[in-house]
Chain A
Amino acid sequence: MLENLSAFIPNLPQVFQPTSPLFTVLKKAAVYSLVAVSMNLLNGFTGLFSLGQAGFMLLGAYTYAILMVPASQKEQVYYLFGGCAFDFSLPDAFAAIFGEGGAGGAVGMILSCLIALILAGCVAGFFAYLIGIPVLRLKSDYLAIATLGFAEILRAIFQWQKLGPVTNGANMIKGFTTFSSFNITNASGATLLRLSTFVPFLVSSVCILLIVLLINSSYGRAFKSIRDDEIAAEAMGINLFKHKMMSFVISSFFAGVGGALFAMYVANAQAKAFTSVMTYEILLIVVIGGIGSVSGSVLATFLYVACSEWWLRFLDSEQYIGAFKVPLLRNGFRMVIFSIVIMVIVLFFSQGIMGDKEINLGALIGKIRAKRERKQ
């Protein structure tokens, strides 16, 4: 939406031009914040230390990609395997009902995208259920190792050549509906309204809202009691296995949706993107934001993504102040500074930015109002 401003106000600062890194950051952060919150539900609120997030994102991304590649694109995408073994495509199915272009086409695209996102979550949730049966009996570090292993196995399986006709082997799947597909264009192809930043925000917000509602319900309280003391929780009538499984499946569902959004963001699905490094990145965000704080996770995601993708970019190239060449700056220096920043945060804010508190807008406004009244 913001991107559109430039069309109306031509002299806008460069930050708000459509090509600005601001929008890349906003899109990526919107996607990552959902995954971070889903990981926080499991690690921060239920106390299950799982490192399988990238694996469930991979499942979501592939489910979305495979369902959303239109038949016309399949030949081209799967050219190494002589076409796709999976005939169904959601956009084609909806195009058959609502028609190709115009309002019908838009409805078809939104519906197919929505259904594919939900299915992506369901597939991730289903696999979480299967793997949860043996794995959730493990505690702390052992659970982390088992889920990490599961994610790595998934990544290897999806790159397997034998599965090529479905997963396209180690190659990427592309050609499906992405965020920029939601930009509204006129007949000549010029963009009228850019919604590509708005869509990930909308989907993430709805999902995070659902997670917050769950956390504040009776089940959320039961999750927290398991985190605080399993033995006491069990003695007070809370079925440990059932509640752990519930948290695991729900967290994986949203990780799957997050994975599908990630595929939309990068406009392709490729197994090699979903490495354990991605899980660590998200774990880092959760730790920086505060384990057990949803608003902390969201805040930390935006800061983290902005730092890594935008604010610290200048460190990677040579900079001159007048005629003076700033020393040390060269390719890769960004990561040095970035690591130091993270170390400082972990050392001085060992509870993360928010600890286990939430940003409470109502209380914040009340506090500001009280301060103002005191001044008068």
Chain B
Amino acid sequence: MGNALHLENVTMQFGGVVSVNNLTLDVPEHQIIALIGPNGAGKTTAFNCITGVYQPTNGLIEFMGRPIVRNHPVGKALRNYKGECADKFASDPVLNPTPDQITGMGIARTFQNIRLWKSMTVFENVLVAKHQHAHQNVFSATFRKNLAEEKRMREETMELLSEQGLDAYKDELAVSLPYGLQRRLEIARALATNPKLLLLDEPAAGMNPQETIELADFVRQTREKYDLTVFLIEHHMDLVMNVSDYIYVIDFGSEIARGIPEEVQNNRHVIEAYLGVADEEAI
């Protein structure tokens, strides 16, 4: 099987700060891959580059073997450029799609700090995510030309909600749900865009150990049921070691280790990054 996602020499530089430095990684289809690292390592920035929120300073991102994002530094950005491989993509055209175009290609995401639509119900939150695939324009929608499509969208939403165990809450405001269910709703909303690749940004943040174990099962089941590839950022080591097939570790924007969970767990660089460098005198 091929790669769902492929990052090549991705560098994101803000002024003089290199948040993501020369990141190269593969996310094979139908696997669960984790990206871990200490606070401020650049994990979310990497996600934002993939989803089009930021345009990377340099690098190539391929989705299902097709380049979707490509950029290289020019002019002032090139003079200030601190990363590597500045000329690797210089001859290729720049690709810079907006987040909604990327979502349309089949990449959906959740957010670290939950971003549900506050004034809408659980049902509407999921229903809106179906809007982009609706075959209607503003006139046909206003004059209710295709009620069949609206009905289909509502049925699919209902189906998705009951699969995620949220159907009992469908008419409640999204923000009134307990925290764990809000996370689950955000995943349901992402699934409503019919993704092939699901990006989860710290899905276990703020969860207790019991909820974390449930989440691991939930992620695995979701992958099976919707035939997805999952790429997740996480802090929670229990979850990462439990759920992922392969792990990339970054610190200060650069990759410091990669491997299956057992390898990463015992990697000296990873332990140093998380616990600090052992002082020689102390030993």
Chain A residues in 8 Å Cβ range of B122: none
Instruction: Let me know if B61 is at the binding interface, CB within 8 A.
Output: no
Instruction: Let me know if B171 is at the binding interface, CB within 8 A.
Output: no
> How many residues of B are in contact with the other chain, CB < 8 A?
37
Chain B residues in 8 Å Cβ range of A292: 119
Pick from A8-16, A108-116, A212-220 the stretch touching chain B. Answer: A212-220
Pick from B35-43, B129-137, B218-226, B238-246 the stretch touching chain A. Answer: B129-137
Given contacts A221-B124, A225-B120, A292-B119, contact A236 B103 (CB under 8 A): yes
CA separation between A117 and B135, bound complex, in Å? 30
Against A, the Cβ 8 Å flags (1 = close, 0 = not) of B113-128 are: 0011111100010011
CA separation between A235 and B50, bound complex, in Å? 11
Given contacts A214-B142, A221-B131, A246-B138, contact A238 B117 (CB under 8 A): no
Instruction: Judge whether A218 and B153 touch: CB under 8 Å.
Output: yes
Instruction: Judge whether B131 and A228 touch: CB under 8 Å.
Output: no
Residue of B nearest to A211 (CB): B142
Chain B residues in 8 Å Cβ range of A343: none
Instruction: Judge whether B134 and A218 touch: CB under 8 Å.
Output: yes
Instruction: Judge whether A217 and B193 touch: CB under 8 Å.
Output: no
Instruction: Judge whether B120 and A237 touch: CB under 8 Å.
Output: no
Instruction: Judge whether A234 and B99 touch: CB under 8 Å.
Output: yes
Instruction: Judge whether A217 and B120 touch: CB under 8 Å.
Output: no
Instruction: Judge whether B142 and A240 touch: CB under 8 Å.
Output: no
Please name 14 further chain A to chain B contacts, defined as beta carbons within 8 Å, in addition to the given A232-B117, A234-B98, A292-B119, sorted by A numbering.
Answer: A214-B141, A214-B142, A217-B142, A217-B150, A218-B134, A219-B131, A222-B128, A231-B115, A232-B111, A235-B103, A236-B131, A236-B192, A238-B128, A239-B98
CA separation between A232 and B113, bound complex, in Å? 11
CA separation between A222 and B189, bound complex, in Å? 14
Interface residues of A in 204-262 (CB under 8 A from B): 210, 213-214, 217-219, 221-222, 224-225, 227-229, 231-240, 246, 250
Interface residues of B in 189-205 (CB under 8 A from A): 189-190, 192-193
Tell me what chain A mostly uses at the interface: helix, strand, loop, or mixed: helix
Chain A residues in 8 Å Cβ range of B51: 235
Interface residues of B (CB under 8 A from A): 51, 53, 98-100, 103-104, 108-109, 111, 115-120, 124, 127-134, 136, 138, 141-144, 150, 153, 189-190, 192-193
Chain B residues in 8 Å Cβ range of A238: 100, 128, 131-132
Instruction: Judge whether B98 and A229 touch: CB under 8 Å.
Output: no
CA separation between A171 and B145, bound complex, in Å? 46
Instruction: Let me know if A100 is at the binding interface, CB within 8 A.
Output: no
Instruction: Judge whether B142 and A237 touch: CB under 8 Å.
Output: no
Instruction: Judge whether B120 and A235 touch: CB under 8 Å.
Output: no
Residue of B nearest to A214 (CB): B142
Partner of B128, one of A210, A236, A356: A236
Instruction: Judge whether A356 and B119 touch: CB under 8 Å.
Output: yes
CA separation between A225 and B189, bound complex, in Å? 12
Chain B residues in 8 Å Cβ range of A234: 98-100, 103
CA separation between A292 and B142, bound complex, in Å? 18
Instruction: Judge whether A214 and B138 touch: CB under 8 Å.
Output: yes
Instruction: Judge whether A218 and B131 touch: CB under 8 Å.
Output: yes
CA separation between A236 and B131, bound complex, in Å? 9
Given contacts A218-B150, A222-B128, A225-B120, contact A236 B189 (CB under 8 A): yes
Instruction: Judge whether A224 and B104 touch: CB under 8 Å.
Output: no
Given contacts A218-B134, A237-B132, A240-B100, contact A229 B115 (CB under 8 A): yes
CA separation between A234 and B124, bound complex, in Å? 16
Given contacts A238-B128, A238-B131, A239-B100, contact A224 B117 (CB under 8 A): yes
Given contacts A210-B142, A218-B153, A231-B53, contact A237 B117 (CB under 8 A): no
**Which of A217, A218, A224, A356 has the most chain B CB within a 10 Å cutoff?**
A218
Residue of A nearest to B186 (CB): A232
CA separation between A210 and B130, bound complex, in Å? 23
Sample 13 A-B pairs with CB under 8 A, ordered by A number: A217-B141, A221-B131, A224-B119, A224-B120, A229-B116, A232-B115, A232-B117, A235-B53, A235-B103, A236-B128, A237-B129, A250-B138, A292-B119
Residue of A nearest to B136 (CB): A218
Closest 10 CB pairs of A and B: A237-B132, A228-B117, A237-B103, A217-B141, A232-B115, A234-B99, A236-B129, A214-B142, A225-B128, A239-B100
B226 CB to nearest A CB, Å: 16
Chain B residues in 8 Å Cβ range of A228: 117-120
CA separation between A38 and B138, bound complex, in Å? 16
Interface residues of A in 268-304 (CB under 8 A from B): 292
CA separation between A246 and B141, bound complex, in Å? 13
